[in-house]
Amino acid sequence: MASSPYGLIATFETTPSLYQAAQLVRDAGYKNWDCITPFPVHGLDGAMGLTRSRVPRISLCGGLTGFCTGMSMIWWTGASDYKLIVGGKPFFSPMFAFPVSYELTILFTAFATIGGMFFLNGLPMHYHPVLKYEHIVRGMDDQFFVVIEARDPRYNLANTKALLEKAGGKNIKELEA
């Protein structure tokens, strides 16, 4: 039984060639594709047409939740659960609640950031079809790859392969899912 195709992978030798290929694939209208590089390439996210990450919004929500949790916890303790006046101190004062709120803001922001990053990246992912490609380890050393997934609406084996050849891709192979 043959497995279904995952997509196409093409090899690029230099950073400029990868950058130009990314622009070409983006301009062709592909949405489900990625670049594999051995190091961060400045401006590649723009060449790929990627929008800004949603992780900062998730982090902000975590921070606000932590701050509100800290303030609410101190308010509940002082004004409702354990009413005790010590030295004329009010039942609740934001000044006294700030250290706890500050620490919970940092803690909840960290957890939200890590959780949001894992969720948005689909992690943990213990296996990926690209790992079947025999030369993928070169993507951690000295080569660059563009992978276009078969689930992309514009994917057509012949047309996509022609596009990668036009972009200067070498050793274009079909990946199995």
Domain residues of the chain, as ranges? 5-52+126-176, 55-120
- Residue-level pLDDT at 50: 95
Asked whether 21 and 146 are in contact (CB, 8 A), the reply is yes
- Residue-level pLDDT at 2: 61
The pTM for the full model equals 0.80
Asked whether 152 and 29 are in contact (CB, 8 A), the reply is no
- Residue-level pLDDT at 1: 46
Instruction: State how far Cα 102 lies from the chain centre.
Output: 27
Contacts of 167 (CB under 8 A, 6+ apart): 10, 17, 20, 21, 24, 25, 146
- Residue-level pLDDT at 154: 96
Contacts of 136 (CB under 8 A, 6+ apart): 36, 130, 145
- Residue-level pLDDT at 96: 85
Q: How many helices (H) and strands (E) does the chain have?
A: 5, 4
- Residue-level pLDDT at 80: 87
Which of the following CATH numbers is that of domain 5-52+126-176: 3.60.21, 3.20.20, 3.30.70, 1.10.760? 3.30.70
Low-confidence ranges of the chain (pLDDT < 70): 1-2
- Residue-level pLDDT at 157: 95
